[in-house]
Amino acid sequence: MWKIIYIYIFSFGLIASYLIVRILKKAALNMGLVDKPDFKRKIHTKPVPLLGGLGMYLAFTLSIVFHLAIIYRLRDSVILPQTISTQLLGINSIMTQLIAILTTTFLLVLLGMIDDIKPLSARTKLIFQIILAVIVFWSGIRVTFFTSNIVFSAIFTIIWIIGITNAFNLMDNMDGLSCGTAFISTFIFFLISSTTGQFFVSSILACFGGVMLGFLIFNFAPAKVFMGDAGSMFIGYTLSLLTIINTYYRPETALTPAPVIMPLLILAIPIFDMISVIYIRLKNRVSIFTADKNHISHRLVNLGMSHKQAVLFIYLVNFCIGLGALLLGSLSKYGCFIVLLQALGILTIIILLERVKKCRC
């Protein structure tokens, strides 16, 4: 029964996203809300409409609110499937966190839209992100890492939310890259939650995945719509929160605590890209907030790939590393070490390829 529900929720999110983004695409063109090429950092050669980020947010929020309204309206009716009725208590228990997610994502998308129209300073955006991270932390969305210390939990939570939010924001440098990478990661997180009986989290992930795929139809090369900072921050921020409320380590089934690092592996590519870009900027003695073409996608293009090939290559690497993460819950410590070593090996191969290119130049 739940498989049918997941397929329905995914399809609903996909269709809602497709239709809303299509409408907003025309609206953006009519209002002149377009991203114009600058022939320096941007690779597109003609104006592309924005508002894709707003479209994803609206599709995601409307899908969740619409179905929650139906569930509570029919909670005492025989029409509502028993499999859903039994989950009402669990839904009520995390309603505060869900409201915090929907409210803060709205504020973040609003910030992103303002930034898309009139660029804000990196400091302003960072302060705003910290405030939102604090809000969701107090709502109960927290990273614990086996500690009851609220200070450490707050630090871990805020760093994770801000880090993943900006990692996907930085990855939005080629058509379909940020959204496609997030879609693959969401799919893997969905497999984890659905196979461990986390039905409510799985439903949200299914909806989120459908919304991103609906937008990706317009955003994959050559992009017909851009998500802007509103969309890239929405994707990273929402995914960071969903990874926190997902459960990875279950003492009764896991052989080691290794499953807690599942999110690090599944999101290894965005994290690797962010860290490598910051390292390159520091090495070149420029501000870490300075936009450039030193991202992993750009570096792959420098190796001889086309833009589309670079994006597909990153998709594949992200998928391969993420698949390994699925095994952590059923492996011994030696098996977990091999999975981790394999992920590091894949990233090292990319680094070595870049160095070979530099040596030949």
One-character DSSP codes across 247-267: ----TTT-SSSGGGGHHHHHT
- Predicted local distance difference test score (pLDDT) of residue 69: 87
Query: Which pLDDT score, from 0 to 100, does residue 209 have?
Result: 97
Extract the tokens encoding 327. 């095994």
pLDDT of residue 134: 96
Region 306-315 average pLDDT: 95
Q: Please determine, for residue 316, whether its predicted confidence score (pLDDT) is greater than 60.
A: yes
- Residue 361 binned pLDDT confidence (cut-offs 50, 70, 90): low
Instruction: For residues 349-357, give the mean pLDDT.
Output: 81
**What's the mean per-residue pLDDT of the chain?**
89
**What is the residue whose two structure tokens read 């592309």?**
48
pLDDT at 38 over 70: no
Exposure string for 288-325, b = 16+ CB within 10 A, e = fewer? eeeeeebbbbbbbbeeeeebeebbbbbbebbbebbebb
Please state the rounded mean pLDDT for residues 111-129: 92
Beta bridge partners of 34: 49
**Which helix H or strand E contains 35, and what residues bound it?**
strand 34-35
Q: Is the peptide bond before 257 cis (omega within 30 degrees of 0)?
A: no
Which of 29-33, 77-81, 225-229 is the most confident on average? 225-229
39: left (phi over 0), alpha (psi -120 to 50) or beta: left
- Angle (nearest 5°) at CA 47 between 124 and 215: 75
**89 or 185, which is more confident?**
185
pLDDT in tens, 191-209: 999 988 888 899 999 999 9
pLDDT band for position 360 (50/70/90)? low
Task: Give Cα 193 distance to the centre of its chain.
Answer: 16
Length of the chain: 361
> pLDDT at position 359, please?
60
Better-scored residue on pLDDT, 179 or 73: 179
State the DSSP code for 226. -
pLDDT, tens digit (0-9, with 9 covering 90-100), for 134-172: 999 999 999 887 777 899 999 999 999 999 999 999 999
Q: What single DSSP character describes residue 34?
A: E
Per-residue HEC secondary structure of 43-62 comes to CCCCCEECCHHHHHHHHHHH
pLDDT digits (tens, 9 = 90+) for 253-283: 777 888 899 999 999 999 999 999 999 999 8
| DSSP state, residue 104 | H
pTM for the full predicted model: 0.92
For residue 177, name the pLDDT band (cuts at 50, 70, 90). Answer: very high
Residue 119 CA to residue 291 CA, distance in Å, equals 13
What Å distances lie between residue 156 and 134, 269, 291, CA to CA?
A: 11, 20, 27
Compute the distance between CA of residue 358 and CA of residue 303 in angstroms, rounded to an integer. Answer: 9
> Is the distance from CB of 135 to CB of 179 less than 8 angstroms?
no
Q: What is the distance between the alpha carbons of residues 282 and 166, in angstroms, rounded to a whole number?
A: 17
The interaxial angle of helices 177-195 and 228-245, nearest 10 deg, is: 20
Closest CA to 233 of 315, 132, 90: 132
Q: What does the block give as tokens for 247? A: 């459960």
- On the CB side of 166, CA atoms within 13 Å amount to 22
Measured distance CA(95)–CA(354) in Å, rounded: 47
